[in-house]
Structure 1
């Protein structure tokens, strides 16, 4: 499949609308994160997330809302959580939201901590820092999507974390992007143009049973 086909969009697509959808997704994540507290179960946090999205008048969900607590932060998108854990006083969790505003797909994810455990805080910060390094690489030159994930893996190792290469980013567009069959960003052998791809970063602590996640639109 050609790069042009993999970056195809619908007639309604606009970069401004993509950026609006992304901004709304980040607003929803921030609202939800502020309401998640120790003692809450994962299922309760997900239900709360649905209320937050409704408050912000999202049009629809385009991928299931994920909230992962503790060891479930190591799970990939397609894996089920183990049980229904309760968030601890010194814990880690991430939120992954995909919703539609103005007919365009927002998708973002971020990791948060409770308490003041330095290792968990460092893990959460590292996922965002690694995302920013890879994003900067994309901004500096016309490199391929595949190169970005090779670079991400090398940078993760240098930072002392393990990158989950089962998570390699994906297309977004005016809804639904799936009709364009863009595949994973990490398998895209061309330069990924702005406003079309989500860069996903998921890392694992080298020895402890938790990880962190961060994703955003390359725009």
Structure 2
């Protein structure tokens, strides 16, 4: 493993278990996204997500499950939702899950649109496209974490979106990663190794009150 202290892991760490936990997290997101419908309260979707995770035999939650509807898609992880909105017929929402399988931390998030509002559909797609561009930069150019988020901001602007630079990725590993004090990916001054970091992308529409979120493991 890495010699960088911020990439330290526990004795149980396994890249295969990291990938398994990530795959299970994506399975949970897919199942939940298919069950969220217009007319549902944000709180109802969150409770449904907890049931999906339980049904998939997750070991525990390691960060609170987030489901954000409408304008709440602009909220950062550490901000509370405004009210308990109802999902509209032409609306936008995202899911952010962090759960443990095989003693390892899965963490993933994605944005979805209901109906056929072209700008909301484009916003949801743009978060994933921007993630893909930044991940490709990581794979192909072997740049440091700081450079990844400089590049993400540049690309977001070129695509016509605003990047939330308060959201800059973070460590994961065998649970609990927090004992290693890895900090944010966007502040990491070395090349981030595979299987240790979550790349987070959160964008906002330049003029309208909604945004989109996408995150996955750099692996």
**TM-score higher than 0.5 here?**
yes
SS at match of 2:4: helix
Q: CA deviation at 1:196?
A: 0.1
Listed one character per residue, the Cα deviations across residues 101-144 of structure 1 (whole Å, up to 9, x for unaligned) are 00000000000010000000000000000000000000002210
Q: 1:156 maps to what in 2?
A: 156
1:212 aligns with 2:212: yes
- Runs in 1 of length 4+ with deviation above 3 angstroms? none
Matches within 5 A, 1:79-158: 79-158=79-158
Gapped runs of 5+ residues in structure 2? Answer: none
1:166 aligns with 2:166: yes
Check whether the contact 1:3–1:190 (CA below 8 A) recurs between aligned residues: no
Gapped runs of 5+ residues in structure 1? Answer: none
Structure 1 CA distance for aligned equivalents of residues 96 and 157 of structure 2: 24
SS at match of 1:16: helix
Aligned residues: 218
Q: 1:65 maps to what in 2?
A: 65
Q: CA deviation at 1:10?
A: 0.2
Check whether the contact 1:163–1:203 (CA below 8 A) recurs between aligned residues: yes
Q: 1:30 maps to what in 2?
A: 30
CA-atom RMSD in angstroms:
0.9
